Chains A and B, each alone.
Chain A
Amino acid sequence: MDILWAENTPLTAREVGKLIADRDLAPTTVMTVLDRLTRKGFLQRTRDGRAWRYEPAESRDAYIAELMLEALDLTGDRSAALTRFAQAVSGREAEILRRALTELEEE
């Protein structure tokens, strides 16, 4: 995924394989991974001659934002039912918490 995000153009499996320099991966492995990611909806592919060209369905930031929204329970429903440490509050309530924090730190 990182490679596809770094390159701004759609790549074929062979090109991705070449860019994964540090590991000696079989071309079929690369293809399997790309195919699986496509089926899960993280990649989009288009026909280019006899090969498929792959590109990310969403930008990296969009995915991070999605995770954060879910993590902070701002998606509206409680879909993933995560256990969160704490949630941020706003305005006057935050002021109350801030005062409590200062008190605790001074003691």
Chain B
Amino acid sequence: MITAAVLAALATACAVGSWRFTTARWTSRAPRLAIILWQSLGVSWGLATTGAMLAYAVQPYGTGVLHGLIAFAGGEAPAQAWDPLHVLALITGLTALAVLIAVLLTAGVQTLRARRRHRMLLRIIAHDDPGVPGVRVLAHPGAAAYCVPGLRSQVVVSEGALKLLSEDELKAVLAHEAAHVRERHDLVLLPFAALRRALPWSKVVADAQAQVELLIEMAADDRARRYCSPRRLATALLRFGTAGAMPTPHGTLGVHAQHVMARVERLVQPLPELAASTRYGFIALSMTLVTATPFLWIIQL
């Protein structure tokens, strides 16, 4: 009973924490740290929510969640008899766990499939340009620069982008994309994108995903500024934002402009780094989160 209560409390804490964290202001000063915290919040929220229900369900066995589930799967009879409430909790818990895993996997597979098609189309349509070696060029007047992640990630720019940017700006953009490739930001993005598709109605999940998207851009900006002028990166960003070569669809526009301005501001006028004590505090918090939930799955309090 105590395990279930602790897990439920942890799940609630993660949910409330995520909700508060979507508006945190320090994240732009330490994007990488914020990404780690998001990841640990996500993992422990999933494990704590399903774990709380299952911990209550396998209570008749008098063991931890994992042992209780193994005993149940093995067909063992519990020490105490089943009652409807525990059966209900077991069904709900197992369904939630199964749905969560299934949806994450399908979303992941769909994403990978979409990327494969994208890459295949690039191979057929995009061309190389001697001016930008190692980059695929798309013959389109609109401005776009992006990275198709994968084992061999590809950086793609459109002809519109080549025309739009000065040489230094282009170099800055490419450094930014190279940072994505190098730090495998797609793997960071994948579970959040999957969760977003799994729970499309959840505002916190949508906000979290938008935050993580912005944070990896900031992390890539940080790496790129080591190799190029941050000012050129900032002007390239603004030029992209104002290009508006494609018709813009309804919704979600406000966020983009805010994101662009946030990135420009920190490129032009970097804020001081977070204090070391705060940094270590957040690292300790995420370590606790990711270790506490699996621990509570195994032991019985």
Contact = CB atoms under 8 A, between A and B. Distances in A.
Chain A complexes with chain B: yes
Interface of A: 1, 40, 42, 60, 63-72, 74, 76-90, 93-94, 96-98, 100-101, 104-105
Interface string B217-261: 100100000000001001111111111111011000110110011
B interface residue count range (under 10 / 10 to 19 / 20 to 34 / 35 or more): 35 or more
Interface of B: 110-111, 114-115, 118, 120-122, 124-126, 138-140, 142-149, 156, 158, 173, 176-177, 180, 185-186, 189-190, 193, 196-197, 216-217, 220, 231, 234-246, 248-249, 253-254, 256-257, 260-261, 263-264, 268
A59 to B, nearest CB: 11
Contact of B146 (A82, A93, A97, A100): A82
A28 B122 CA distance: 24
Given A79-B110, A83-B186, A72 B122 contact: no
B253 A83 contact: no
A83 B139 CA distance: 20
B55 to A, nearest CB: 33
B124 A71 contact: no
Contacts of A81: 111, 114-115, 149, 186, 189-190, 193
Contact of A83 (B146, B197, B242, B264): B146
Contact of A105 (B142, B147, B235): B235
A64 to B, nearest CB: 5
Nearest to B254: A93
Contact of B257 (A70, A78, A93): A93
A66 B121 CA distance: 9
A97 B234 CA distance: 11
